[in-house]
Amino acid sequence: MRVLVSLPVLLPLLAAGCSLVLARHTTAQRLLTVVVLTAVLADAVALLVAVHRDGPARVAVGGWPPPLGIALAADLLSALLLTVGVLVALAVLLFAIGQGTSERSGETAVPFHPAYLMLVGGVGLAFLTGDLFNLFVAFEVMLASSYVLITLNAGEARVRAGMTYTMTSLTSSLLFLTAVALVYAATGTVALDELGRRTAGLDEGVRAALGAFLLCVFAIKAAVVPLHFWLPDGYPTAPAPITAVFAALLTKVGVYAMIRTQAELFPREDTWWLVAGAAMLTMLVGILGAIAQDDINRLLSFTLVSHIGFMLFGLSLFDVAGFTGTILYIVHHIVVQAGLFLVTGLVVARTGTAKLHLMEPADGGPERGTPPVITALFLLPALSMAGIPPFSGFIAKFALLRAAAAHGGVAAYAVAATALLTSLLTLYALLRVWRALSAPAPGPPASPVLTVGATAGMVLVGLALAAGAGPLAELSERAATDLLAR
C-alpha cells in the first residue's frame, strides 16, 4: 500500500526531471511520458482495487509521522478520481503527440513533456494528500506547470490570457495560504483526519468563518459563478489537448478539494442554502453564456462553467445520496468534457476555424464541415452532457434529481428545477454546434490516426461509464458514505 499510494505522485515528478535531461531527444521524451503515465494508470487501478477491498490507506512519507512529515492518504473517492484523471491525461497525451503539440518549436525544445508530467504529479498529490498545506503545494505545482502549457508557442493573445489565468490562480493561492494559517492557528494542525476532530470543538462562528473562507478559495479554482470570469478567456486560447486536460481535471480538483474539506472539517445536518444558490447561479449563467457564443471553444468553456453547478447540487444537499450524485457527475464530466474538447481540436484542425458560422456552408460558396465519423464523435458526448438517456450524463443527473426528491425542501426542488432547465439549454447549445459540424465536408486532409484514436477512446470510455453504471453507482455511494462518516 505504501508503494501504491506514493507512486502517482513520485513517478511523474521524477520523470519530469528526467524529461528535462532528454529535452533534445523528442522520441525519448515521448516514450518516457507515455510509459510513466501508463505505469501511473496501472498503479491507480491497483490502488482503487486495494482500497475497495481493504479500506483507506495512509502513508507517512519517509517514516516521519504528522505533524513533522508529509502524509499521503487514499480512500475510495480519491482513488476513483485519480484513476479516471490519469486515464484522461494519458488519452490527451496521445492526442497531443499525434497532433504535434509536443514537438519542438524552431530551435528551442518545447518543455511540453516535463510540464505535462508535473501537472499529472500535482493532480495526483491533490487527490492523495492527507493535509491542507500539501493540498496548497499541489495547487502550486499545477499552477506552475499549467502556465508553461497554456503559453506554448504563444502569441500576444495567449500570453495575455495566460497571465489572467495565472494572476487569478495566484490570488486564490494567497487566500488559500491565509486560510491554512488561520486553520492552523485555530486548531494547531493541518492534518485532515485530525482537523476533522478538532474543528468540532471550535466556536460556531469560527467554524463558519473558516468553512466559508475555504469554500471561497476552492470556488475560484473550480470556476463557480461569479468567480468564473478567468476560465472562458483562458482555456479557449490554449492548444486543443491542453484545453482538454485543463477542462477535464483542473476545475474538478477544485471541486474535489471543496467536497473533501467541507465534508470532513465542517459537516452539516441540513440543506446548504449558500451552495444551493451558487449551484443555480452557476448553471444558468454558464449555459446562457454558452448559448451566446459563436466560438466553439468559448461555447464549451461556458458549458464547463455551467456544469460545475451540477456538482455543487449534490454538495448543497449534504447527504449520502447528494454526494453520490456529485461523485458520479464528476467522473462523467471528466471523461465527457475531455472528449468534447478533443473532438473540437479535430474540427478546428480540419476547418481552420473555431467560428460556428464559418463551419456552415456559405450560400453559393464552398462547403465546409467535418466527416461523419468526427460528427458522431461529437454527438455522442454532447448527448451525454445534455443528460439524454442512456448516456452517463443521464445517469449522473438522475442520481442528483432522485437525491433532491428524497431530501425534500424548497432549496432542493429549486436546484432540481434549475438543473432540468440547464440540461435543456445544454442540449440546444450543443446541437447548434452539431448542426454546424454536420455540413458536408469537401474532403480536407485526413486527421492523424493517433488523434482520432485518442478521441474515439475517450468517447468509448464515456459509453463504458453508462454500461457500467451499476457498479460505478455502488462504488460512488460507498465513497460518499465513507466521506460523510469522516
Among 264-268, 299-303, 357-361, 481-485, the minimum mean pLDDT is found in: 357-361
In 100-203, alpha helices (H): 112-128, 132-150, 156-187, 192-198
The fraction of the chain above a pLDDT of 90, given in percent, is 52
Q: Is the pLDDT of residue 389 over 60?
A: yes
Q: Closest by alpha carbon to 125, among 115, 114, 134, 133?
A: 134
Residues 6+ apart with CB under 8 A from 13: 117, 118, 121
Cβ atoms of 255 and 308 closer than 8 Å: yes
Cα–Cα dist 381/400, whole Å: 19
Q: What is the pTM of this model?
A: 0.91
Cα–Cα dist 481/486, whole Å: 9
Backbone angles phi, psi at 224, to 5 degrees: -80, 135
Element (DSSP H or E) covering residue 457: helix 449-467
Element (DSSP H or E) covering residue 454: helix 449-467
Taking residue 285's Cβ as centre, other Cβ atoms within 10 Å add up to 17
Bond before 226 cis per omega within 30 degrees: yes
Rounded (to 5) percent helix, strand, coil in the chain: 80, 5, 20
Q: Is the pLDDT of residue 314 over 80?
A: yes
Q: How buried is residue 50: exposed, middle or buried, by Cβ count under 10 Å (0-12/13-18/19+)?
A: middle
Q: Closest by alpha carbon to 101, among 173, 29, 169, 166?
A: 29
Question: For the chain, what is the mean pLDDT?
Answer: 87
Average pLDDT, integer, range 250-262:
92
The string of pLDDT tens digits covering residues 56-66 is: 888 888 777 76
**pLDDT score at 267:** 84
Q: Which bin fits 62, alpha (ψ -120 to 50), beta or left (φ > 0)?
A: left
- Cell numbers representing residue 448 in the block: 492523424
Range of the domain at 205: 2-484
Cα–Cα dist 427/135, whole Å: 36
Residues 6+ apart with CB under 8 A from 68: none
Average pLDDT, integer, range 229-246:
81
- What is the three-class DSSP state of 268? coil
Average pLDDT, integer, range 422-428:
94
**pLDDT score at 259:** 93
Cα–Cα dist 16/8, whole Å: 13
Average pLDDT, integer, range 270-288:
92
Domain total of the chain: 1
The string of pLDDT tens digits covering residues 393-411 is: 999 999 999 999 998 889 8
**pLDDT score at 107:** 38
**pLDDT score at 366:** 42
Average pLDDT, integer, range 182-191:
89
The string of pLDDT tens digits covering residues 101-144 is: 655 444 345 688 899 999 999 999 999 998 899 999 999 999 88
Cα–Cα dist 91/102, whole Å: 14
In 320-409, alpha helices (H): 320-351, 356-359, 372-386, 392-407
Cα–Cα dist 29/274, whole Å: 47
Average pLDDT, integer, range 454-467:
93
**pLDDT score at 106:** 43
**pLDDT score at 372:** 81
Backbone angles phi, psi at 188, to 5 degrees: 80, 10
Cα–Cα dist 267/411, whole Å: 18
